[in-house]
Amino acid sequence: QVQLVESGGGLVQAGDSLRLSCAVSGRTLRTYTMGWLRQAPGRGREFVAAADWRSGDTRYSASVKGRFTVSRDNAKNTEYLQMNSLKPEDTAVYYCASARALLSTDPRSYDNWGQGTQVTVSS
């Protein structure tokens, strides 16, 4: 079982930046992908970004590509999501999650989830 704890959310203005963190602990040997997903009010969970722990490959949704970047600090067992040029439509609860499926964009593929952190972007 993998335990995930997000932090770093908050209230910012359009154009600002935020960095989300996801502390990872527990069994990770079978975890191939670490993903970031989000859920806006009244909507389902949406894929944002993912990284493969073994190869360093990444994948981004079209809506965030070029603005968001995933990274990892192995020494701290922590994943990061750097979010730049934030827009009001980025407002959502952001989750980190782990999946066995390689770089999956389907939220149903992710079987371990953190508690989420709220990101609110005002216009």
pLDDT, tens only, 75-117: 888 999 999 999 999 999 999 999 888 899 999 999 999 999 9
pLDDT of residue 39: 98
Distance of CA 81 to the CA centre of its chain: 6
Higher pLDDT, 6 or 101: 6
DSSP, collapsed to helix, strand or coil, labels residue 10 as strand
Displacement of CA 123 from its chain's centroid (Å): 22
Q: pLDDT band at 23, cuts 50/70/90?
A: very high
For the chain, what is the mean pLDDT? Answer: 93
Of residues 76, 39, 79, the one with CA closest to residue 56: 79
